[in-house]
Structure 1
Amino acid sequence: MTLSINDLIVSAPGSSCDGELAKSPWEFDGFPGYGPGASEDDLIPEPVVRPGQLPAAYQRMPEDELHARIRAAKQTLGHRLVILGHFYQRDEVVQYADFVGDSFQLANAALTRPEAETIVFCGVHFMAETADILARPEQHVILPNLAAGCSMADMADEDSVEAAWEYLTQFYGDDDTIPVTYMNSSAALKAFCGRNGGIVCTSSNASTVLEWAFEQGRRVLFFPDQHLGRNTAKAMGVPLEQMPMINPRATDLGVDAGVLRDARVLLWPGFCSVHKRFTVAQIEQARAQYPDCKVIVHPESPMPVVDAADAAGSTDAIRKFIAAQPSGSVIAVGTEINMVNRLAAEHPDKTIFCLDPVVCPCSTMYRIHPGYLAWVLDGLVEGEVRNQIVVDADVATHAKVALERMLAALPKDD
């Protein structure tokens, strides 16, 4: 018998993953925080997002009717609609995507459909913002559930970054610091990078981006994910002692002046609650059970985990790594469970499993439910754009500068 992710969430013994995650996402959309399944370390976002409530009729609608509505709307809208789905999205939603990929791939994919009047992004808020920035002015971008945020993105806010930047500018007295923001950040922070000679990166092209940044200046301020910054810079040969993690709440950023003076990469203290869960002990357990297994993890994982794995890479790199392994291989994967399960189904000749025995999907990505997709698509058929994402024009102008630099920084394997 094949169990759904909801079954696994509820049945996982000793689980620290909240069983309420199996409930319908609209039960939590009006509450603070990221909902069931989020890390206890996640900060509650301020201000709290108050999305429009999914109409009760869609909450009560049978699954088969929701899917029938989605299929009918897609057929009616035709080439006027393009649906983007992230690798981490649930299967019952991602099946309708015209493009499936990681954040870098989807940012490029949206550009290939200029004839589409509407882009429906089945991902999280920062991804939809990016699509709106890169889209043509007449295109609409929709996020089916406005409560689909990102806890990591909220760990770096514009005021804190501006304050840290002001301190660093005064401390160094030069313009040799280049701001680099991970794609998992707000449009405002992408605009900050655009205004200050910086760039956006994804997990696919992080090393290319850091190389570009070091050509522009001596050091990098990398936010919000400390782990991607540390793992990428370390692989490039930057010593750990030259990668201090700053404390944005401290007046001196919590770093000794001598260390700060020699720093090459200044790391922001953000993280992904899903990838933070992976441990060296999990890798050791996988190898004890399967001595010949290969282990690949996402670079948002902590450095000891990346060091202990056989390989690390973006979601697309993980997909390619698994495809390249011979039939009969055993592969332990350190990334989000929806993607791991999908890869296991695509490669039945291989044993593929998630390192983390507790099944915890990305709790915010999981908020995109077929009910929301049916509702926004029905709206388009009726001539109504629901849950549109619109980035302020001035913010979009500067953010686009940093994003275009990102798109030009091709991943190493391209």
Structure 2
Amino acid sequence: MILTSLADKVAFNQYYEEAPADQIQRIRRIKAEFGADLFLVAHHYQKDEVVQFADAQGDSLKLAQIAAENHDAKKIVFCGVHFMAETADILTGADQDVLLPDPMAGCSMADMANSYQLAHCWQTLTATYGQEILPITYVNSTAAIKAFVGQHGGVVVTSSNAPKIVAWALRQAKRLLFLPDQHLGRNTALQLGLAPSELGLWLAQENRLQAVAPQQVRVILWDGYCSVHQQFKVSQITALRARYPEIKVIVHPECAHQVVAAADEFGSTAAIIKYIQAAPQGARIAVGTDNNLVGRLIKQYPDKKIMALNPFSCSCILMNRIDLPHLAWALDQVAAGREGNVIKVDAQTAFWAKQALDRMLTLSV
């Protein structure tokens, strides 16, 4: 339910005037009362004030797997962004409700590819290349995009499983359409040994393909990106290496390729966490990803010199819409027996999107 009336908005605004300690106590009480019937999950990029209540936390792949495996909870409170809650709804049962504390918690990358643009892209590409194209979508996409991909025999990927699944896809089809994140697609393709000349860029705003040699193209990248991961630059890495010669740099594959190439390592959120965990005591490591996670890693590993690659970068503004007041409001709705912000994907969209998601989960084993 989106707050539309003035009375609703005034009532919600009172949550920002309430003492945080009272909200924390109430959230814990409601969770205890509902027990296994209420399951709260949080993405790694959430703020500590939200993560403290999580029954499970993870990156996109982990959260998708958790949703698919949970058959007991009647209410799943999803502390992430809209496409993640959609994915959870698609993978859970009809008797389970997925609640997003703030329905305005979206994803700017997901918004860079819509069904209208994709339909025009597909029409143009199939007219050029025939039916020898397999669509792949990053999990950071809408349910409608996932459904299109599923309907055309394609698959969803996450940053954790992209190399494995893209390698599989390249064995299935002569060409791939990878959307919406060009950087994850480019970094993955180059990691698998493709040449830059084998990559093309689909300019959705212009409805055309940009490529050095169109007939050599094997992976067509959609012109989308994550605004958070565009805040990391090669100059930042260079400056840190000059100051700390021993430093290691690890970045997320949503960063531009020149940043990935300049770093020591790159990997998904889960891979970054594992890298930090395995690093020796005293290791100095700069991390290029959302600073909510970096700040948490700094606190969790005080024996290591963890630092943000760009300490001035903004965390995901849309992810941060899920805060303590929104979470308290969402749990109060559950306790009062009201619907709250339930995310529901229509049956046809969910059916086809699930085909693409199931392929991903099967290939990820």
The equivalent of 1:246 in structure 2 is 202
1:364 has 2:318 as partner = yes
The equivalent of 1:178 in structure 2 is 134
* Structure 2: distance between partners of 1:90 and 1:159: 34
**Aligned residue among 48, 55, 62 for 2:12:** 55
**Aligned residue among 288, 305, 313 for 2:259:** 305
Could you tell me the TM-score, scaled by structure 1's length? 0.84
The equivalent of 2:233 in structure 1 is 279
**Aligned residue among 151, 156, 159 for 1:195:** 151
Number of matched pairs: 359
SS of the residue corresponding to residue 244 of structure 1 reads strand
8 A contact 1:180–1:193 mirrored in 2:
yes
Displacement, 1:214? 1.1
The equivalent of 1:232 in structure 2 is 188
Displacement, 1:381? 1.3
The equivalent of 1:36 in structure 2 is none
8 A contact 1:149–1:365 mirrored in 2:
yes
8 A contact 1:176–1:216 mirrored in 2:
no
* Structure 2: distance between partners of 1:249 and 1:288: 40
* Structure 1: distance between partners of 2:337 and 2:123: 46
* Percentage identity across paired residues of the two chains: 48
* Structure 1: distance between partners of 2:291 and 2:311: 10
8 A contact 2:102–2:341 mirrored in 1:
yes
Displacement, 1:112? 3.0
* Structure 1: distance between partners of 2:120 and 2:176: 16
The equivalent of 1:43 in structure 2 is none
* Structure 1: distance between partners of 2:164 and 2:359: 11
The equivalent of 1:24 in structure 2 is none
The equivalent of 1:204 in structure 2 is 160
Displacement, 1:301? 0.3
**Aligned residue among 385, 389, 403 for 2:339:** 385
The equivalent of 2:49 in structure 1 is 92
**Aligned residue among 75, 88, 95 for 1:118:** 75
**Aligned residue among 201, 207, 210 for 1:255:** 210
Structure 2 gaps, min length 5: none
* Structure 1: distance between partners of 2:132 and 2:170: 9
Correspondence list, 1:384-403, <5 A: 384-403=338-357
* Structure 2: distance between partners of 1:366 and 1:250: 32
SS of the residue corresponding to residue 120 of structure 1 reads strand
* Structure 2: distance between partners of 1:79 and 1:357: 39
**Aligned residue among 284, 289, 299 for 1:345:** 299
**Aligned residue among 153, 177, 190 for 2:110:** 153
1:75 has 2:29 as partner = no
Displacement, 1:249? 3.0
1:321 has 2:275 as partner = yes
The equivalent of 2:223 in structure 1 is 269
Structure 1 gaps, min length 5: 1-28, 31-51
8 A contact 2:139–2:158 mirrored in 1:
yes
* Structure 2: distance between partners of 1:289 and 1:77: 52
Q: Which amino acid aligns with 1:337?
A: N
Q: Which amino acid aligns with 1:141?
A: V
8 A contact 1:337–1:359 mirrored in 2:
yes
8 A contact 2:185–2:221 mirrored in 1:
yes
Displacement, 1:311? 0.3
SS of the residue corresponding to residue 306 of structure 1 reads helix
* Structure 2: distance between partners of 1:172 and 1:249: 21
Displacement, 1:217? 0.6
Q: Deviations over 1:137-179 (max 9, x none)?
A: 1100000001100000000111101110011111112x21010
Displacement, 1:260? 2.1
* Structure 2: distance between partners of 1:260 and 1:75: 59
* Structure 2: distance between partners of 1:70 and 1:260: 55
1:107 has 2:64 as partner = yes
Could you tell me the TM-score, scaled by structure 2's length? 0.96
